[in-house]
Each structure stands twice: as structure tokens, then as C-alpha cells.
Chains A and B, each alone.
Chain A
Amino acid sequence: MSSQNTQPSGKVFFWYDPVKRGIIYQVFTLLAVGLLGYYLFSNVQINLERQSIATGFGFLDKESSFEIGESLIEYSSADTYARALVVGVLNTLKVSFVGIVLTVLLGTLIGIARLSSNWLVSKIASGYIELFQNIPILLQLFFFYALFYEVFPSPRQALNPIVGVFITNRGIVYGVPESHKAHGAMFVAFLVGIVIVFFLKRWAKKRQIATGQIFPVFYTALVILLALPIVTWLLYSAPTAMDVPKLSGFNFEGGVNVSPEFGALLFGLVLYTAAFVAEIVRAGIQSIDKGQTEAAMSIGLRPGQIMKLVILPQALRVIVPPLTSQLLNLTKNSSLAVAIGYPDFVAVAGTSINQTGQAIEGVALIMVVYLTISLSTSVFMNWYNKRIALVER
């Protein structure tokens, strides 16, 4: 009986043994891939020798001798390629970070507007989504960039929509408070506020578990976080001096200048990605059954509590995975900066490739940088997703 149930122990032609056959398949596949790799590699070697290009990353230490339009760290053309590439990475991270924050805000707003009971609002939101989803991002970037150069006036006739903000074809200039030691202290006060709120929240939770009384953490936290910096500011006798841009010659001086390249890139990325994020937010909110809201109401929760304790935790579970991939898309799309001249990593690496001829190293660097950003984001998001995931029995 048992001999019939188990596999026949006698000799089987190896081809009919799934395990052995699997091994053979894998060996052949790996061999084929290896051979292909070897073929390409040997071709590369022959070609490089023929064109007498030296390989390796030695070029990184050489002088770059090209200028970069904008940079977060000090940089000049006398610096090395390595430093130029770091400038590029920082520029990519800068536009991605600002873009992600604005995209999440705008996308959530539009996603909620899409569900509004106001007919006009919901139609405008859905029109926005259709329009921006269906036009290539690169075309949008070109369009916004052209707007800066062709529609916006020269600094002498700058548009001045709000006091202290000037829109010109050289970029957007706005005033900032003049640097004062009070600002550093205000920042420290804000950090202290965060620490206080952290402990306050723990205490409030403990008290609620022990006594059942709810402490209004949110409003207290808001007051603490606002009051501490303001009090510090007043203690420093409330400095109000502003660094306001002034027209001098052909351009503005002072204030903060957002270059047309950065402005167009940020605008395009945010408007494009927000359309996708809006759809994700809408789907997430719609995925929550109406019964959840009704059940929460029936146990006496207030609307704010229903949102915070019942709807959001469940909707986020649906929203977070696709949202992650959209935000990664934004980061990857920021590489289109190269087309409008914003010096992001791809643009700097491209210039380096053109100057040194180190194509393989350059493209490899581009891939490694983006892979690192993508993989570390997805590791973080997987961790976050696991944390908020439904714990099923």
C-alpha cells in the first residue's frame, strides 16, 4: 500500500524527476545568461581598447571644469567630478523632497475635492485629473519652462501678486526675514516643543488607559508648538527686519530666488503627480464601507474622531502602497530636469560623460543612485506598511 502512495523508489530516468529537471533548467538558464553577459563584456573590452578609453572611476578625482547653475553646497568649476556629482544628487533630492511634500498636499486636496458633494468642485477636480494624467510630463515641463521665458515679464516689469513676491522671467523672487540669532533660538524652541508634546502624548495615553479620561492632546500640542517659538521671538525683542528683493540694474538683489528651471520642474512634477495621487486618495477613501462610519457614529464618536480613529487608519492601508510608487515615480521623473537645464544628478552625470567619455561608469552611477533611492524608500515603506497593516487572526 505504502509503496503505491510514495514515489516509486526504483530507477527513474532523470528527465522525469521534477527536482533534477528543475536543476537542469536552472543550470541552462544561468549558463545562457552568463554566456550572454560574457559576450557583451568581451565586446565592451574590445571596443574600449579600440577606442583607447580607460575604464574605472579615476576620473572622479579630476577637475570637473564646468559650472553648475545652482547648488546647495559650495561648488566651483575647479572642484572635482565627485563633488559635482554630489551637487547633482543634492539637487535631485531637493526637488524630490519639496515636490513630494507639495504633491501629497495637493493630491490629497484634489482627491477629497473629487468626492465633494459640491458639483462644481467635484467636476473641476475630475477635469484636473483627466487633463494632467493624459499629457506627458515632459511636455508639461517644456510648457511651464516656456511660460517662464515667454509670458513672464523681465525684472523691470515684474509681476507682483503679493507684497514681497516678484514673478519674472529670471525666476520667482521673494523676501525672507533677515537672518537674526532669534531664528536659531526659535528653531531650538520648536524642537523643545516637539519633545514636550512627545512626553505629553505618552502621559495622556497612560492616563486614558488608567482613568478613561481623554486629554485634548491635539490642541495642547498645537498651542505648545506655536507658543514656544513666538515667546522666544518676543524675548529677542521681536526682530521684524525683512530681506526684501530690490531691483538693481537688470535683476533683483536680495531675497530668495527660485530659478525658472527649478520652478518649472517643481511645478510640472507636482501638478502631474498630484493627479495620480488624487485618484489614489479617492479610491482609498471610497474603499471604506459606509457601515464603518455609521458604526463609529453609533458608539458616539465625533466626526473628527471618526476620521482619525476609524476612517484614516483603514484608508491609509489602501493608500500607502500605490502612493509610495507614485512618489518614487516623481523622484524618477525628476531626472527629466536634464531636458530643461536644471542641474540634477542625471544632468551632471551626462555632462561628465560628455567630457570624459566614461559612458559605462556614468550610466552605472545614475542607475546606482536611483536604485539606492528607490530601494531604500521601498524598504522604509514596507516597514511602515507592515506597521499599519491589518493584523488578522
Chain B
Amino acid sequence: MTEAKVTAESSEVLKPPISHAGIIGWARLNLFNGWFNSTLTILILVAALQLIPPFVNWAFIDSVWNTTGAECQQVKGACWSVIPANFRLVIFGFYPAESQWRPLLAMIMLVGLLLYSKNRNNWGKRLLYIWLFSLFIMGVLMRGGLFGLQPVESAKWSGLPLTLILSFFGMLAAYPLGVVLALGRRSNLTGIRSLCVVYIEMIRGVPLISLLFMSSIMFPLFLPKDLNIDKILRAQVAIILFTAAYIAEVVRGGLQAIDRGQYEAAESIGLNYYQTMRLVILPQALKIVIPPSVGILISAFKDTSLVVIIALYDLLNTSKSALSNPEWMGSSSEVYIFVALIYFLFCYLMSSYSRRLEAELEYKSTE
């Protein structure tokens, strides 16, 4: 009995050896387990010592934050002054300054709507109507002409609002088209199936640039001569046609994941094709494909930057036009890092959301 007591006491007193606990234990386990990992760790630390101090010097210590362009030329470090000086141009582009609150409000609405849609308890028909209504309001805010708002022609839409419009409107409009294409590709009717296959494979086989070229130089030829569609809408159509093909493939994956029994059960209770799809198959299939759809939204968001090539002023192009001002020549890195941060923030939030959603949905389905 005394023996047992002694062991109990000593186990309370004895702490794990210092080499296996705390920070040292952690480092031994994660950084220096074996000669190979130890060498790697040391090499990385040496490289970091070489690279990080110069970068910190450039970005923070030697940098200037609020000067004119001329003063910037004298500085060794980063010239962050270029960003406050051109902030309006980069974010809002050529939108009239006195109406700038309108795109700002529209963007806040969009972000708020996205945050609201994040919560899965809010998903439903109501959310769809809220979205449609808000999109209408955002359109009115951008375009003006209603409720006493001054009209702003779309040629002046630029900067971050344009990037958001092209990607989110594009995604929303492409989704129904993509679903139809996916259903067509899975159809038993040879004619319809081959049409859809040709469309999807053709679009996926060519770069987005070629479609944008087509939109900017060929669409005018396709339309009757008195019908003039503005440049942004044409690019938007190209993005929609492009995104739809990728959505179709994602949705097809969801359709394939649905058990055949579901189709047979729907048939056996006498539902026709339309009812089967709308009431049984699509609700399940679309739920499966939400995470990969967010992935498509991310690439659509990044891909909108390609409209630079057909001379639309999206976020990337307004930042380039800020750089073309001779006063700020030579500050490309600073501006590009700033714009990259904006893109990164949006994409990173979306992708981490999609990963969380995937985990949640998986958990729920195994429950």
C-alpha cells in the first residue's frame, strides 16, 4: 500500500523531461526530427535571415507613406504614398467623384449580402428573392436615371465595382445556363446531348482571351447594324458563356453522384422528367456541388482581370493607369502588391469558406 502511495506521489511530482515538453519538445518533434529535417530547418532559417531583413527594410523602415511622387524618387524603400494618392482612381476608376457613394454603397450591399448568404440557415427561396431585389437596386445605383439619381454611362464603370459586377453577375447568370447544359449532356436525346458536348468541350478547350477577343471584335459583326451593345455588356456575355461551360461540368459531377435509385423512385411515383429533375435530382445534386461552385466563382473572380486585354478598366487596369502617370513611375511593385492584397482577400475568404462548407456538408451527410 505504501508502495502504491509512493508511485502516485512521484507521478505527481515528476514532470516530463524538458526535452519532450514545451517549446523545446515541440521543436524537437516538428523541426529537428532526424538529420534531414534538421538540415532543412537550418537552411530555411539561414535563407530567412538573408531575405526577410532587406524586405522589412524596404517595406517598412525605409518606406514613405505620405509624400508626393517627386519626393518618392529620393527614397530607397517602398513608396507607399502612391496608394493614398491614387486610391480613388484604383478603386473607383473613372466614376464621377460626386456620385462615388453609389458604387461604394452597392459594394457594401454586395458584401453584406454575401455575409448574409454565408449562413446556411438563411438558404432558401427567400434568399433568392433578396438577391434578385438587391441586384436590381445595385444596378440602379450604378446606372442611375431612376429615383432622381444622375445617370452614369457604363463606359465610366471601372475599378473594383466593375470587377465585382463582371464576376458576380457573370456567375449568377451563368449558373442556370450551366445547369441546362449539364442536364443536356446527360440527356438520352442524341441531338441535344451532342450539341451540349460540343459546346462544353469547345469552350473549355479555348482560352478566355479568345472569347473576349470575339466579344470585342466579332460580336458587332454578328448583330444587326442598328443594334449597338456596349463593351462591358459584351465582355459580360463572353464571361457568362465561358463560365457556364465550367459550371456545366461541375453540375454534371453532382448529377452523376446521385444514385440511380433516386431516378427510378421518382419515375415509379409517376413524376415526369421536369418534375423528377426539379423536385428530386437537382436539389440533391446542386447541394453536392456548392463547394466546387465556390471554386468556380473564385476563378471567375480572378479571370475577370483578363478584360484588361480588351481595354476595360477593371481593378487591375485602373491600377495600371495610375502607374502610367509619370509622377508615380517606378512604383509598380507597391501598386501591384496593394491590388494583389485586394484580390487575395476576396479569394482567400471565399476559398476558406468553401473548405469549411465542404467539411460541414460532409459531416451532415454522414450523420
Whether the pair A151, B333 counts as a contact (CB closer than 8 A) is: yes
Whether the pair B348, A130 counts as a contact (CB closer than 8 A) is: yes
- Segment with Cβ contacts to A, from B59-67, B68-76, B153-161, B213-221: B213-221
Q: Contact flags (1/0) for A140-159 with B, using CB distance below 8 Å?
A: 10110011011100000000
The count of chain B contact residues (Cβ–Cβ below 8 Å) is 54
Q: Is residue B104 contacting chain A, with contact meaning CB distance below 8 A?
A: no
Known: A43-B221, A117-B30, A371-B202. A138 touches B316 (CB 8 A): yes
Contact residues in A for B30 (Cβ distance below 8 Å): 117-120
Whether the pair A124, B44 counts as a contact (CB closer than 8 A) is: yes
Complex Cα gap A366–B189 (Å): 32
Q: Is residue B130 contacting chain A, with contact meaning CB distance below 8 A?
A: no
Shortest CB distance B161–A (Å) = 17
Known: A43-B221, A363-B218. A135 touches B340 (CB 8 A): yes
Closest to B188 in A: A22
Whether the pair B40, A30 counts as a contact (CB closer than 8 A) is: no
Q: Is residue A239 contacting chain B, with contact meaning CB distance below 8 A?
A: no
- Segment with Cβ contacts to A, from B16-24, B168-176, B281-289, B304-312: B304-312
Shortest CB distance A13–B (Å) = 15
Complex Cα gap A335–B206 (Å): 10
Shortest CB distance B234–A (Å) = 13
Contact residues in B for A118 (Cβ distance below 8 Å): 30-31, 33, 37, 40-41
Complex Cα gap A60–B43 (Å): 56
Complex Cα gap A131–B218 (Å): 36
Whether the pair B205, A375 counts as a contact (CB closer than 8 A) is: yes
- Segment with Cβ contacts to A, from B92-100, B121-129, B190-198, B253-261: B190-198
Complex Cα gap A336–B201 (Å): 21
Complex Cα gap A333–B210 (Å): 11
Whether the pair B213, A350 counts as a contact (CB closer than 8 A) is: yes
Q: Is residue B351 contacting chain A, with contact meaning CB distance below 8 A?
A: yes
Whether the pair B206, A121 counts as a contact (CB closer than 8 A) is: no
Main secondary structure of the interface of B (DSSP, over half): helix
Closest to A137 in B: B302
Q: Is residue A46 contacting chain B, with contact meaning CB distance below 8 A?
A: yes
Complex Cα gap A29–B191 (Å): 8
Whether the pair B302, A25 counts as a contact (CB closer than 8 A) is: no
Shortest CB distance B366–A (Å) = 18
**CB-CB contacts below 8 Å: B312-357 with A:** 316, 320, 330, 332-333, 336-337, 339-340, 343-344, 347-348, 351
Known: A118-B37, A363-B217, A367-B210. A135 touches B344 (CB 8 A): yes
Whether the pair A50, B225 counts as a contact (CB closer than 8 A) is: yes
Q: Is residue B207 contacting chain A, with contact meaning CB distance below 8 A?
A: yes
Whether the pair B222, A44 counts as a contact (CB closer than 8 A) is: yes
Q: Contact flags (1/0) for A50-89 with B, using CB distance below 8 Å?
A: 1000000000000000000000000000000000000000
Q: Is residue B49 contacting chain A, with contact meaning CB distance below 8 A?
A: no
Complex Cα gap A139–B302 (Å): 9
Q: Is residue B303 contacting chain A, with contact meaning CB distance below 8 A?
A: yes
Contact residues in A for B361 (Cβ distance below 8 Å): none
Q: Is residue A176 contacting chain B, with contact meaning CB distance below 8 A?
A: no
Whether the pair B206, A371 counts as a contact (CB closer than 8 A) is: yes
Whether the pair B332, A146 counts as a contact (CB closer than 8 A) is: yes
Whether the pair A366, B206 counts as a contact (CB closer than 8 A) is: yes
Complex Cα gap A143–B298 (Å): 20
Contact residues in A for B201 (Cβ distance below 8 Å): 375
Q: Is residue A95 contacting chain B, with contact meaning CB distance below 8 A?
A: no
A-B contact sample (17 more), CB < 8 A, given A118-B31, A147-B333, A346-B213 = A43-B222, A44-B221, A47-B221, A120-B41, A124-B44, A131-B344, A134-B343, A135-B340, A135-B344, A138-B316, A139-B340, A143-B340, A149-B332, A150-B332, A332-B207, A336-B309, A367-B202
Q: What are 20 of the A-B contact pairs (CB < 8 Å)?
A: A22-B189, A26-B189, A29-B192, A30-B191, A33-B195, A44-B222, A46-B224, A50-B225, A137-B302, A138-B308, A139-B339, A142-B316, A143-B337, A146-B336, A335-B210, A336-B309, A338-B309, A360-B218, A360-B221, A366-B213
A: which residues have CB within 8 A of B? 22, 25-27, 29-30, 33, 40, 43-44, 46-48, 50, 116-121, 124, 130-131, 133-140, 142-143, 146-147, 149-151, 332-333, 335-336, 338-339, 346, 350, 353, 359-360, 363, 366-367, 370-371, 374-375
Complex A-B, nearest 8 residue pairs according to Cβ-Cβ distance, in ascending order = A26-B191, A146-B332, A119-B30, A134-B347, A374-B205, A332-B207, A136-B302, A136-B305
